[in-house]
Amino acid sequence: MTRRMIGALVLAVLVTGAAVATAAFASSSATPGVSKKTITIGGTFPLTGPAALYAAIPKAEFAYFSYVNAHGGVNGRQIVFKYDDDGYNPANTVPQTKKLVEQDHVFAVYGSLGTAPTLATRDYLNKAGVPQVLVATGDSYWGAQYKQYPWTIGFQPDYPGESRVYGQFIASKIPQAKIGVLMQDDAYGQNYYNGLLQGLGDSKSKIVDVEKYDSTATDVSQQIVKLKASGANVLVLFSLPTQTIGALVVTTKIGWKPTTFVNNVSGSSLFMYLAQQAGAKIDGDITATYLFDYTNNPNAPSAKLYKSIVDKYDPGANPLDSDIEYGFASAWTMVQALKEAGANPTRASLMNALTHMSGWKNPFLYPGVTMTTTGTERFPIDQQILEQYRSGAWHPFGHIFSKAR
Amino acid sequence: MRLRRSSLAGPAVAVAAAVAIGVLPHWLSNYHRSTGADVGVFFTAILALNIVTGYTGQISIGHGAFMAVGGYTTAILTHDHGWSDLATLPAAALVGFAAGVVVGLPALRFRGVYLALTTFAVALAVPQIAKNYPGFTGGTEGLALPTHSGLWLYRTAWVVAGIVFVAAWLLLRGRTGRAFRAVRDSEVAAASSGVSLPVYKTVAFGISAGVAAVAGSVYVLVNNFVNPDVFGLQLSLYVLIGAVVGGLGSLWGVLVGAAFVQLLPLGLTSSSLTSSQLVPVIFGAVVIAVMALLPLGAANLLHAVLHFGSRSAQSADVPLGTEGR
């Protein structure tokens, strides 16, 4: 046997043994993840892969927890936040979530991102009685299916709630509307479309055309051309960022000038910037938001706090990236829930706090948007305001649309 | 003397490995037991790929698709038809066999990279098909399955792996295995010796896919969840990497290959030394390093160790299990 083979044998043995042999630390306290000095939470996020643009979110959350820890933590405990990369692939999310629960003994799984990853781990976590809280996805399952999954709760407004706002606005403010809808042909698009119909009410007869695209298709030119031909003067986009950017560019290219609504998760300033770079004329486009408007209020206390935390704890981040705002708003909510869970928090007391938000005023949300939940009403954020794109930024206008449930 | 040594050493190693795998969970946490179950799943899947690629020489880079077929068979039968989960495994094997025969048909006309691309297309297409029939497959939302303890999953995965291993060993050491290897080594020579190429190629694909489907079934039980993203391209590639690292054309390196693709990325991710963006880079670098050190896979190394002292140096080039018996 050659020396190289001995080396390779050693390598093979090391590789095989390394992960298996990792020792497990058993938690001594009654509540997993809670010690005298620390409280450990964890989540899974796409740090790599197709959704890696969202990697700024856990980093921002980590930064906010660091800020809170530097100011004494929560009820004397430091927050330990472990986040793992699942690459937006549920096949990775499952073992990583099991690791967080069984190996790292987290108190709660917090903020995990994506609909499919959340669905993949929801049964496991609910059977184990582990809170799966403030998940970063806007599907309505989390708030709607609480009877079956009491340990799961979302954070942001759900998709139908958002499109309901567009429907209400169109019904009341654009009487001559002839509406064309571009939607993704899956649950995501259907969720949005159902909300739009609710919001429109009797005005739903003003929908003149609905064009669908397969979620794997990236070119939506055909659909946009058909929508223009239908005579629509209002265009509502329920699409993902890539298709949204494409739709905005094609609309401009074919000389169509409808009043355009862009859904929130595709309406980040970054994506709008990309569309503009590609030749789209997007001034006047409308979306909905629930986050604080830093662009127009740079001297507000919220904006100063935001900037100081970014500067100190998340250097290198682009403060205009709305994912950072999102991360701060979510982390603030988690800290507030941990505070209200009491001096000796349990998993049950955490869920109790999250399902009894009494109009929490989150400094990172739009002023006037409050967080309220009850045992049977489990959508933490249910208010939004419309905003219009002008000269390179979103500008909120009008009044806050409140719970319409 | 020489025959005696090699015929005893193989089974001895297999028995030792089986005993080690059997007693290991006593020292493992619940989490590491389910990790161990994942290794068992990959053991079965890599073995499956080895049958068609390693022994028969038909390259497949789409075995994740057959795992998807098995996984969905198990998920749909338990979720919608009330089957007990273990009862679905034979059904998955049958459905997988049928799928394998169908995909194997192009293998009659395509070779090498063309066949590889065909299987690649299948790997891309199957998850999309699942997405398009949400009433049947649960669509992107997926289907949730009952949860099991880590120990149950570990035992299930490894009992299945053990059965498949013994069956594959019996199959490959005999007449069928010899025919497979003949097809791999020279199609012309095989055909002129009376080996029917169409029959053996499609049978190899069918058996391989059936075994991969069973691996997919157990995979779904371990994850207690299925949706199209679970069976993405990464899965097919990991199975292929595991087969190459373990050693194509040999059963004895499969364990190393399975541990490699399942434990190394997990170990790297858990390690605080590496940032997650570096994990794929390090994994890729290690794969290259292993290829450079062990071009014939771990099986070759094992072979060399077992025969140390009794064989001349040239024996190291022949993976165990491929030598003529």
pLDDT computed for residue B318 by the predictor: 42
pLDDT tier at A5, thresholds 50, 70, 90: low
pLDDT computed for residue A404 by the predictor: 52
Q: Say whether B140 and A186 touch across the interface (CB within 8 A).
A: yes
pLDDT computed for residue B276 by the predictor: 64
Is B111 within the bounds of a domain?
A: yes
Tell me: the pLDDT tens digits for A80-125? Answer: 999 988 888 888 899 899 999 998 999 999 999 988 889 889 999 9
| Own/partner long-range contacts of A128-131 (Cβ < 8 Å, ≥24 apart) | A128/A101, A129/A347, A130/A101, A130/A106, A130/A347, A131/A107, A131/A347, A131/A350, A131/A351, A131/A354
Q: Which one has a higher pLDDT value, B261 or B319?
A: B261
B134 vs A: CB within 8 A: yes
Is B28 within the bounds of a domain?
A: yes
Residues from chain B contacting residue A122 (CB–CB below 8 Å) = 144
For strands A152-154 and A108-110, give the pairing: unpaired
Selecting from 3.30.56.10, 3.40.50.2300, 3.40.50.880, 3.10.20.30, what CATH number does the domain A160-289 have?
3.40.50.2300
Residues from chain B contacting residue A15 (CB–CB below 8 Å) = 259-260, 263-264, 267, 286
Angle made by CA atoms B219, A88, B259, in degrees to the nearest 5: 40
pLDDT computed for residue A10 by the predictor: 47
Q: Give chain B's mean pLDDT.
A: 85
pLDDT tier at B99, thresholds 50, 70, 90: very high
Q: CA of B267, closest CA in chain A: separation in Å?
A: 5
Q: What would the mean pLDDT of A303-323 be, rounded to a whole number?
A: 87
Query: If contacts are CB pairs under 8 Å, which of residues 269-308 in chain A contact chain B?
Result: none
Tell me: the pLDDT tens digits for B135-188? Answer: 888 887 788 888 888 899 999 999 999 999 999 999 998 899 999 999 999 989
Stretch(es) of chain A classified as CATH 3.40.50.2300: 28-157+292-383, 160-289
Q: What would the mean pLDDT of B67-77 be, rounded to a whole number?
A: 95
Of B224, B263, B301, the CB nearest to A18: B263
DSSP result, A191-219: HHHHHHHHHHGGGGGGEEEEEEE-TT---
* Enclosing domain of residue B162: 24-317
Residues from chain A contacting residue B256 (CB–CB below 8 Å) = 12, 16
Q: CA of A220, closest CA in chain B: separation in Å?
A: 19
B185 vs A: CB within 8 A: no
A318 vs B: CB within 8 A: no
Q: How far apart are CA A264 and CA B224, in angstroms?
A: 32
pLDDT computed for residue B250 by the predictor: 83
Q: Which one has a higher pLDDT value, A48 or A174?
A: A174
Domain at A28-157+292-383: CATH architecture: 3-Layer(aba) Sandwich (3.40)
Q: Give chain A's mean pLDDT.
A: 88
Closest CA to A262 of A279, A245, A280, A281: A245
Is B186 within the bounds of a domain?
A: yes
Q: How far apart are CA B14 and CA B22, in angstroms?
A: 12
A47 vs B: CB within 8 A: yes
Radius of gyration of chain B (CA): 19
Q: CA of A387, closest CA in chain B: separation in Å?
A: 31
Please list, in sequence order, all residues whose beta carbon lies within 8 angstroms of the beta carbon of residue A70, skipping any fewer than 6 positions away: none
Closest CA to A97 of A127, A65, A53, A132: A132
pLDDT computed for residue A20 by the predictor: 38
Count of domains observed in chain B: 1
Q: How far apart are CA B138 and CA B76, in angstroms?
A: 9
Q: What would the mean pLDDT of A353-372 be, rounded to a whole number?
A: 95
Is B325 within the bounds of a domain?
A: no
Which of A4, A5, A115, A190 to mutate: most B Cβ within 10 Å? A5
Q: Please determine, for residue B237, whether its predicted confidence score (pLDDT) is greater than 50.
A: yes
Q: Please determine, for residue B264, whether its predicted confidence score (pLDDT) is greater than 90.
A: no
Query: If contacts are CB pairs under 8 Å, which of residues 4-33 in chain B contact chain A?
Result: 24, 28-32
Is B7 within the bounds of a domain?
A: no
Closest CA to A90 of B220, B95, B303, B291: B220
CATH code, domain with B302: 1.10.3470
Query: If contacts are CB pairs under 8 Å, which of residues 102-121 in chain A contact chain B?
Result: 102-103, 115-116, 119-121
Q: Please determine, for residue B321, whether its predicted confidence score (pLDDT) is greater than 50.
A: no
pTM: 0.80
Residue of A nearest to B268 (CA): A19
A14 vs B: CB within 8 A: no
Residues from chain B contacting residue A9 (CB–CB below 8 Å) = 301, 305
Q: Which one has a higher pLDDT value, B304 or A143?
A: A143
Rounded to the nearest 10 degrees, the angle between the axes of helix B2-23 and helix B298-306 is 120
Tell me: the pLDDT tens digits for A155-170? Answer: 999 999 999 999 999 9
Is B71 within the bounds of a domain?
A: yes
Tell me: the pLDDT tens digits for B125-134? Answer: 998 888 888 8
DSSP result, B95-108: HHHHHHHHHHGGGG
Tell me: the pLDDT tens digits for B17-49? Answer: 888 898 898 888 888 898 999 999 999 999 999
Query: If contacts are CB pairs under 8 Å, which of residues 183-202 in chain A contact chain B?
Result: 186-187
pLDDT computed for residue B108 by the predictor: 81
pLDDT computed for residue A346 by the predictor: 96
For strands A38-45 and A108-110, give the pairing: parallel
* E strands, A157-253, in order: 179-184, 207-213, 234-238
Is B122 within the bounds of a domain?
A: yes
Q: What would the mean pLDDT of A287-302 be, rounded to a whole number?
A: 92
Q: Could you tell me the two tokens for A164? A: 């309901």
Tell me: the pLDDT tens digits for A44-94? Answer: 998 877 677 788 899 999 999 999 999 999 999 999 999 988 888 888 899
Q: Say whether A91 and B223 touch across the interface (CB within 8 A).
A: yes
Tell me: the pLDDT tens digits for A374-383? Answer: 989 999 998 9
pLDDT tier at A15, thresholds 50, 70, 90: very low
Residue of B nearest to A88 (CA): B229
Distances (CA, A) of A104 to A132, A337, A373: 15, 21, 30
Q: Say whether B225 and A120 touch across the interface (CB within 8 A).
A: yes
Burial annotation A162-174 (CB, 10 A radius, 16+ → b, else e): bbbbbbbbbbeee
Q: Say whether B256 and A11 touch across the interface (CB within 8 A).
A: no
Q: Please determine, for residue A22, whether its predicted confidence score (pLDDT) is greater than 70.
A: no
Residues from chain A contacting residue B298 (CB–CB below 8 Å) = 12
Is B115 within the bounds of a domain?
A: yes
Q: Say whether B140 and A24 touch across the interface (CB within 8 A).
A: no
pLDDT computed for residue A163 by the predictor: 95
A21 vs B: CB within 8 A: no
